[in-house]
Amino acid sequence: MKAAEFNYQRARSIQEVIELLDQYGDNAKLMAGGQSLLPSLNMRLSNPEILIDLQSVTELKGISQVGQVIKIGAMTTHTEIENSALIQEHLPILSEAVPHIAHRAIRNLGTWGGSCVYGDPAAEWPACAVALNGVMVLQGPKGERRVLAKDFFLDLYTTALETNEILVATEFDVSKTTRKHYFEELSRRHGDYAVTGIVAQVIIDQDVIVDSRIVYFSVASTPAMASGVQALIKGKNIHSIATPEIIAQATQLVRSEIATLADLTNTAQMKTHLVGVLLERALKHIANSSRR
């Protein structure tokens, strides 16, 4: 099937994008890498009057550091994140996650912002943004507003972005604390969407866990945070979180707190099982990596 007819405008600045969104409202669609949007147009799931292409909005591109904050522009491609030394140094979870996103051709075109705004619960970036406590920087006719990633993903393919707003960037605080992390996804073939995935980050102070974020993707309608497990391990010595007692308690807890949903090929029960399997691996890895 081919897309229905639409007008096309290549925007040159964020201001121009906002003016066009203001003018066309619901009848406009922003296009980033087009990797999710174009298939949906071709299947006629969406029928915009105008497509606003973001490729020439240079303000939206690139990865930068200001003080202790790393900023990923919305139009930064998956491949640029994969190749970034700044990301490798300060946000290594993203470096580990990115090879799991689709295949090279899609990673060359698909963008950070497109993935976050699309809000696919099976995608890696939304879960990473929540686990790393990212701040989504949005801009609209009334100026800029900031939304924590944990509050950005509202439901299946639904975010806190208003129709007249654009996602400009995501910011991450990378101030010097001791962090341990774990990323793993289970998929049928490398590059397929995950059956279930986990992104975990633990912050420690002198071996004591002071904060953690354990987030699953491809299990629910949004990235799913294991708040109960986070509370369970808070204040514990990092080396103690892989004892059989804690593992048993944590896996039982996470299987009851994450309300999994079936997808086309996997049952909710299987995902509930995998949620516990991945948590056990994460806790063991984090406890052991802190001994090095």
Ligand X SMILES: Cc1cc2nc3c(=O)[nH]c(=O)nc-3n(C[C@H](O)[C@H](O)[C@H](O)COP(=O)(O)OP(=O)(O)OC[C@H]3O[C@@H](n4cnc5c(N)ncnc54)[C@H](O)[C@@H]3O)c2cc1C
Q: Which range in 110-118, 146-154, 223-231, 232-240 contacts ligand X by CB under 6 A?
A: 110-118
Q: Which range in 23-31, 61-69, 170-178, 234-242 contacts ligand X by CB under 6 A?
A: 23-31
Residue 61 contacts ligand X per CB under 6 A: no
Residue 36 contacts ligand X per CB under 6 A: yes
Structure tokens at 177: 């604390």
> 276-288: string of b/e by CB count within 10 Å (b at 16+)?
bebbeebbebbbe
Residue 32 contacts ligand X per CB under 6 A: yes
Backbone angles phi, psi at 64, to 5 degrees: -140, 165
Give CA separation, 255 vs 119, 184, 249, 270, in Å.
24, 17, 10, 11
Judge contact between 44 and 1, C-beta under 8 A.
Answer: yes
Query: Which of 32, 91 has the CB closer to ligand X?
Result: 32
Residue 31 contacts ligand X per CB under 6 A: yes
Helix residue spans in 98-162 (DSSP H): 104-109, 112-118, 124-131, 149-152
Structure tokens at 239: 């080396």
Query: Which of 34, 223 has the CB closer to ligand X?
Result: 34
Task: Spell out, one character per residue from 271 to 290, where the chain touches ligand X: x when CB under 6 A holds, - when not.
Answer: --------------------
**In the block, which residue shows the tokens 């009057």?**
49
Query: Which of 169, 283 has the CB closer to ligand X?
Result: 169
Cα–Cα distance between 194 and 179 in angstroms, integer? Answer: 25
Interaction with ligand X in 157-216: which residues (CB under 6 A)?
161, 166-167, 193
Residue 124 contacts ligand X per CB under 6 A: yes
Where on the chain is the footprint of ligand X (CB under 6 A)? 29-37, 54, 74, 101-102, 106, 110-111, 113-115, 117-118, 120, 123-125, 161, 166-167, 193
